[in-house]
A and B are shown apart, each in its own frame.
Chain A
Amino acid sequence: MSRWGYFFRRLLLSIPVLFLVMTFIFVLLRMGPVDPVAARLGPEATGAEAARMRERLGLNDPLWEQYVDFVTDFLVLDLGQSWVVYADWEVTTIVMNSGPPTLWLGFWAILLPLFIGIPLGFYAGLRPNSWSDYTASVSGILWQAMPNFWLCIILLAVLRQTQGGGWLGFDWYAFGPEIRSITGTPSLDFLSWSNPFGAVPFPTGIDWSALAVDVKLILPPALVLGSASMAAELRIGRTAILETINSNYVETARAKGLKSRAIVWKHVFRNALIPLVPVITNEAFLLIGGSVIVESIFNINGLGRIFFRAMVQGDLPLAGALLFIFTLIIIFLNIVQDFLYTIIDPRVGYER
Chain B
Amino acid sequence: MLGLLGGSATVGLAGCSALLGDENGDDDSGGSGDYEVSEHADKAQAAWQTVVDNPGPDAEETRNEAYVEIEEAVRDDMVLLPLYHSKGERFWYDYVDIPEHGALGSHHQQFNEVELEGDSELNLLNSSFDELDPIMSTDTASGIVITQLYETLTHYPNGVAEVENQLIEGVETSEDSQTWTFTLKEGVQFHDGQELTADDVVYSFRRLAESEYSERANFILDTPLGLGIEYEEGEDGGVAPDSIGVEAVDDRTVELTLREPNPAVLDILTYDGFAIVPEGIVGDIEGYDGEVDHDEFRTGMANGTGPFQFDGFTPGEEMRVVRNDNYHGTAASVESVHWEINEDPESRFTYAMEQNADVFDIPTSQYDPELIDAEEDDMGREVGTYGPFENDEETNYLAVPELGTYYFAFNVTNVPRPVRQAIAYVVNHEELIQDVLSERGFEAFSFTPPRMWPTGDDGYDQWVDEWPYGVNETDIEGAREVLEETDYTSDDPFEMTAATYESAPEYAEMAELIRQKLGDLPVEINNNSTQFSTLQDRGEDGDLEMYSLGWVWSWPDVAYGHFGFEPKNTNTSEMPNSATGYYLDWQANLDEEA
Contacts and interface: CB of A to CB of B under 8 A. Distances in A.
A59 B138 CA distance: 21
Interface stretch (A179-187, A255-263, A281-289, A330-338): A179-187
Please classify how large the interface on chain B is, using the bins under 10, 10 to 19, 20 to 34, 35 or more.
35 or more
A33 B225 CA distance: 28
A30 interface: yes
A297 B316 contact: no
B355 to A, nearest CB: 8
Interface in A202-252: none
Nearest to A153: B346
Contact of B138 (A41, A47, A185): A41
B344 A46 contact: no
Nearest to A57: B9
Interface in A1-47: 30-35, 38-47
Interface in B185-238: 212-213, 215-218, 222, 225, 238
Interface of B: 6-13, 16, 128, 130-131, 136, 138-139, 212-213, 215-218, 222, 225, 238, 295, 298, 314-317, 340-344, 346-347, 350-351, 353-354, 356, 390-391, 530-534, 536-537, 549-552, 554, 575-577, 580
Given A47-B577, A181-B356, A34 B531 contact: yes
A98 interface: yes
B533 A299 contact: no
A277 interface: no
A61 to B, nearest CB: 7
A86 B316 CA distance: 9
A185 B130 contact: no
9 contacts: A33-B531, A39-B533, A40-B215, A50-B576, A51-B576, A86-B315, A88-B213, A181-B340, A299-B343
Nearest to A301: B316
Contacts of B16: 33
Interface string A50-92: 1111101001111100100000000000000000011111000
Contacts of B10: 35
Contact of A296 (B9, B222, B343): B343
Given A47-B580, A61-B7, A184 B340 contact: yes
Most buried by B among A60, A161, A181: A181
Given A160-B350, A185-B317, A299-B347, A46 B534 contact: no
A49 interface: yes
Interface residues of A, number: 59
A35 B533 contact: yes
Contact of B130 (A31, A38, A85): A85
B347 A156 contact: yes
Interface of A: 30-35, 38-54, 56, 59-63, 66, 85-89, 97-98, 152-153, 156-157, 160-161, 163, 173, 180-185, 296-299, 301, 306, 309, 314
A182 B350 contact: yes
Contacts of A53: 215
Given A44-B138, A156-B350, A49 B216 contact: yes
A147 B215 CA distance: 41
B499 to A, nearest CB: 13
A309 B8 CA distance: 24
Nearest to B366: A157
A87 B218 CA distance: 20
A34 B342 contact: no
B17 to A, nearest CB: 9
Contacts of A62: 8
Contacts of B530: 33
A88 B343 contact: no
B8 A296 contact: no
Nearest to A85: B130
A67 to B, nearest CB: 10
Contacts of B356: 180-181
Contacts of B298: 88
